[in-house]
Structure 1
Amino acid sequence: MGFDAGQPGFAQAPGPRPVIALNSIRKVYGQGEAEVRALDGVNLTIQRGEFVAIVGASGSGKSTMMNIIGCLDAPSTGQYLMDGIQTGELDEYQLAQIRNRKIGFVFQSFNLIPRTRAVDNVAMPLAYRKVHRRERHELALEALDAVGLSSRAGHLPSQLSGGQQQRVAIARALVGQPVLLPRGRADGRPRHPLLARDPRPVRGAALPRPHDRDDHPRARSRCPRRPRGAHAGRPHHRGLRLGVRRTDGIGSGRCRMIAESIRFALSGIAANKMRSVLTTLGIVIGISAVITLLAVGAGTSNLIKDQIGKLGTNVLTVNRAVATGGRTTGGSATATRTRSTSLTIADQQSLGDPVLAPDVATAAPVVQAQSVTATLGSSTHSISSALGTSPSYFGITAFTAAAGRVLDDADAGQRAVVLGNSVAADLAQNVASLVGQTVSLNNQDFTVVGVLAPKGTSGLNDPDDVAMVPIDTAQGTFTGYTQSLSSIAVQAKSADVMTEAQNEIQQILDARHQVTSDTRDYQVRNQAQVLSTATSTTQTLTILLSAVAGISLLVGGIGVMNIMLVTVTERTREIGIRKAIGATRGNIVLQFLVESLIISTLGGIVGILIGFGASSFQLFGIRPEVQWWTVWLSVAVSAGIGLVFGIYPANKAAKLRPIDALRYE
């Protein structure tokens, strides 16, 4: 809860109180030989209703004294009481309250905030008093009407003449019903009029006219209040309704201040549209990259799961060990090879033993031929995987026929072939018409007995680019009669007993091949393990790529901070004006922090939209899948960037002293 000037919490002198009481005020700049005494033992008392002109030669300390009286600066020594309040005992927040509620500034250079309408300039002190927007708008219009500028309420300062800008500044000074009205010179003469006013609501505003009194350097004038409704040579204007309603409680006031900070921030962003757009680019690129890469990673992972699922979730594959440099790579073995790395039909048949392998449902032998080309008329196709196998292989690997049938026991020794969908599509437009036709495989005629249903491609791998013939036919035609198999396909009774089935297979083959776990000449590949490994690899790559995208987010955040620092520098004078009319440090921090937050959040939203757009395209056969948690994460990250990288510029702006900010050029 903030202190209200004139309310409990402010130290007030007892007895009748003047508006201004300066006692032995000294202001010293510099030290040692460079010391300059701008004020030295100044005493001054001004009562309500008095009109005082402070005059003197250039450099005599007039401006320094006015800055101290206006609570924009503090004396080096001495005591200053404003309306009975000892200002030397007030903290920064309370001084801001004093400037907002008891002082109305009319600056020599007007100090209107650019890119802000006249009515909003006038209403700004009331905004920091947390007055409802509608009420302060009405009061601002009345103040502008009182100075004859109601028709220019919607104009920017750059669209007003010098005299009109001065009248807007006067209206801003009076709208908050101050007890003190400091004014800079208006006619080129070295004069600083002060008007000490009765704080009660009045129907007219008495505006001082510098040329009404003598210009003697030590003149002290007292002038009577003007008749009600009179206004600096402009009679008949409607008087000001200067009473201001209290806010509707602490929570309501805070909400209004946040709403005003958002409005101020949007105004600042709109004033520099191109800069704001360029500032968001780093955030846009980073967020869109993160969403797209995570979507690609999720799509890849799901595709791998789908492809492995199509091959069977309870399938194990026994492969021959690969000899490399005199060493074998079977299972975990790395010992020197001392025996053949062969898999035989007998090995495959032994895996069907219900006693030694109770968890194995069935097994099928597989031989693979290399460089097989299918030809039909003028159409040819180089087959990626030409296999010789038994009928049980189709059940193990979940291959089904889209046209015709799969191999059966009657096809043993026959030149019968089942074509994969990709092979059939290259040979004929209507794949079903191939059933019963004769195709040439490496110049050997085979009868097509069936075409397999498509499983779908997975990037560079196409499981439909396959042709299957009986195993003995493949050995007689393509691979030669050899006892060595390429692999053995094994189906466990369920996915829950995959580990048990694998252990049983290893025990049987270890005994048959007379090897140990360290010297195995074969390896067993578990589909579940393959899925886990592939998923882990995909996740790792996704994380690495996302980390790279995260770097662009960091760079974008630094860009936001850099631009906000530039903005603070450019708007230093505006910060001084806002502080002079009552903005607290919290108000300034909130304004610039909200501006940073809005820029980052807008960049995040645009990045999300671009990420969704990029994820709608297939990449290398992979369809990206956007995860909704990445969207919420992106919004949170972009907002976090705005807060983290906006804190330093906002604090830098808030720490500026009003007098230093106003002097900035």
Structure 2
Amino acid sequence: MRLGELIGMAMRTVLSNPLRTILTMLGVIIGVASVVTLVAIGRGTSAEIAKQYENLGTNMLVVNVNGNGRATQLDYNELMKLEGLPEIDTIAPTILKPNSNVKFDRTQEKYTMIGTNDRYAAVVKAQIDTGRFLSEADLELRANVAVLGSEVSKKFFGFLDPVGEQINIDGIVFTVVGRLKEKGQNVSGTSIDSMIMVPLETARRQFKLGTIRTTYIEAPTKDDIYVAQDTMKQYLTYKFKSDTGFQLVNQDELLKARTATSNTLTKQLVSVACISLLVGGIGIMNIMLVTVSERTREIGIRKSIGAKRRNILFQFLVEAGVISGIGGLIGLLFGIGLALAWPAFNPDQPTLISVDISIYAFLFSALVGIVFGLYPANKASKLRPIDALRFD
């Protein structure tokens, strides 16, 4: 008997009892839908992580100084001399002053103020919306000028251009020279949108801030970042006479670690979802055993008129494959629909449908049906015609 005829017979059998068929397929449907959805969520999360790091630049190194006192102080001029090294392209030292009281007219709010240099915007991939960023002249003159993040600007000036206006930061008047475009949160959960940037020496002197605690370093390429990391480690170890007073954060390493963690979690969840496929396979085996019992006389008649053992075996294997294949197809469509709808309920968690995994899940579901249908099919094929015809 040809494969097309066997599939046609299997379809008629499936449609003859739709409720039982649907219940049989349920485990396969849930398993395939779970695999497709979970992989889509996992890959979407990995893509979002990669996008966030890309916004900062995977060729960026962050130096954090942990110690206190003169023994662990960074000197601005010394740091800037390192820009001449081939593995270091740009350096932007920073001093932070969280919860600064910012006033304009009758509006007052607390924001983080950053004292930095003219390289900072380029290193953190921030773009100017209006006006300009800090300049070398601002640093040399220790000018009272400020660049506003988009959220800060919107809070005090709405959609108006803030350039030229004066704001009050902890009692000191600053002239706004620029506004940044909206950037959103980075991987650490902070956002430059809610920050105010002023010249580093201005921040240090006006607000009596201490030493440079965080320095952003950009390498020419992603490959150079590891050389830059080794260079900074050697420099800081020599300067502080210790390798414990600082921390080097390599963005490329963080990206790889976060992506690996996300992928591992996704694989674990998919493994759990595959259990549903196995449960579905057991359900298919059970229902096929019932089908063999119900159709014993049919098997006996077919064998008595010349059907061979392999014909009976293939017939029931095809039935099991059709049941699991249809269940896999329904699960595939349901999983894709759920993956597409997921961001509507979880805006911060995008999805990315994986075509290859979806195909593998569908093929695996069909394979599960065939494997678990093998025992019932083999049992049916071994029935003796005389015994099958006497079955009541």
TM-score bucket (shorter structure): 0.7 to 0.9
Aligned to 2:35, which of 290, 313, 317?
Answer: 290
Equivalent residue number for residue 22 of structure 2: 277
Q: What's the CA shift for 1:340? A: 5.2
Alignment partner of 1:658 is 2:382: no
For residues 100 and 390 of structure 2, what CA distance do their matches in structure 1 show?
86
For residues 354 and 415 of structure 1, what CA distance do their matches in structure 2 show?
27
Structure with the bigger RCO (C-alpha within 8 Å, sep 6+) is: 2
For residues 662 and 320 of structure 1, what CA distance do their matches in structure 2 show?
87
Q: What's the CA shift for 1:455? A: 2.9
Normalised to the residue count of structure 1, the TM-score between the two structures is 0.54
For residues 465 and 436 of structure 1, what CA distance do their matches in structure 2 show?
19
For residues 658 and 260 of structure 1, what CA distance do their matches in structure 2 show?
22
Equivalent residue number for residue 400 of structure 1: 127
Alignment map for 1:442-453 (pairs within 5 Å): 446-453=174-181
Aligned to 2:114, which of 387, 393, 397?
Answer: 387
Match of 2:32, as an amino acid?
A: I
Match of 1:365, as an amino acid?
A: P
For residues 108 and 322 of structure 2, what CA distance do their matches in structure 1 show?
61
Aligned to 1:316, which of 40, 61, 77?
Answer: 61
Alignment partner of 1:552 is 2:272: no
Provide the aligned C-alpha RMSD in A.
Answer: 2.8
Gaps of 5+ in 2: none
Alignment map for 1:552-571 (pairs within 5 Å): 552-571=276-295
Call closer, same or farther: CA 1:444–1:540 in 2, change over 3 Å: farther
Q: What's the CA shift for 1:464? A: 4.4
Q: What secondary structure sits across from 2:179 in the alignment? A: strand
For residues 342 and 579 of structure 1, what CA distance do their matches in structure 2 show?
93
Call closer, same or farther: CA 1:598–1:428 in 2, change over 3 Å: farther
Higher Rg: 1
For residues 166 and 256 of structure 2, what CA distance do their matches in structure 1 show?
42
Equivalent residue number for residue 77 of structure 2: 349
- Output one character per residue of 1:87-121: Cα deviation in whole Å (capped at 9) or x when no partner: xxxxxxxxxxxxxxxxxxxxxxxxxxxxxxxxxxx
For residues 374 and 565 of structure 1, what CA distance do their matches in structure 2 show?
76
The answer to whether the 8 Å contact 1:287/1:607 transfers is: yes
Aligned to 1:601, which of 325, 328, 332?
Answer: 325
The answer to whether the 8 Å contact 2:56/2:186 transfers is: no
Equivalent residue number for residue 629 of structure 1: 356
Alignment map for 1:102-113 (pairs within 5 Å): none
Q: What secondary structure sits across from 1:359 in the alignment? A: coil
Q: What secondary structure sits across from 1:455 in the alignment? A: coil
Q: What's the CA shift for 1:381? A: 6.1
For residues 10 and 19 of structure 2, what CA distance do their matches in structure 1 show?
15
Call closer, same or farther: CA 1:381–1:278 in 2, change over 3 Å: farther
Aligned to 1:539, which of 252, 263, 277?
Answer: 263
Equivalent residue number for residue 584 of structure 1: 308
Alignment map for 1:159-198 (pairs within 5 Å): none
Equivalent residue number for residue 89 of structure 2: 361
Of Structure 1 and Structure 2, which has the larger fraction of its residues in helix? 2
For residues 18 and 128 of structure 2, what CA distance do their matches in structure 1 show?
62
The count of aligned residue pairs is: 386
Q: Percent identity?
A: 37
The answer to whether the 8 Å contact 2:301/2:389 transfers is: yes
Equivalent residue number for residue 240 of structure 2: 513
For residues 221 and 135 of structure 2, what CA distance do their matches in structure 1 show?
24
For residues 585 and 381 of structure 1, what CA distance do their matches in structure 2 show?
83
Equivalent residue number for residue 369 of structure 2: 642
Aligned to 2:146, which of 409, 417, 425?
Answer: 417
Gaps of 5+ in 1: 1-255, 323-338
Alignment partner of 1:575 is 2:299: yes
- Output one character per residue of 1:275-314: Cα deviation in whole Å (capped at 9) or x when no partner: 1112212111111111111112211222222211111232
The answer to whether the 8 Å contact 2:300/2:386 transfers is: yes
Match of 2:277, as an amino acid?
A: L
Match of 2:270, as an amino acid?
A: S
Q: What's the CA shift for 1:379? A: 6.7
- Output one character per residue of 1:377-414: Cα deviation in whole Å (capped at 9) or x when no partner: 6777664x542211111122221112222222344444
Match of 2:146, as an amino acid?
A: V
Call closer, same or farther: CA 1:270–1:341 in 2, change over 3 Å: farther
The answer to whether the 8 Å contact 1:423/1:464 transfers is: no
Q: What's the CA shift for 1:445? A: 5.3
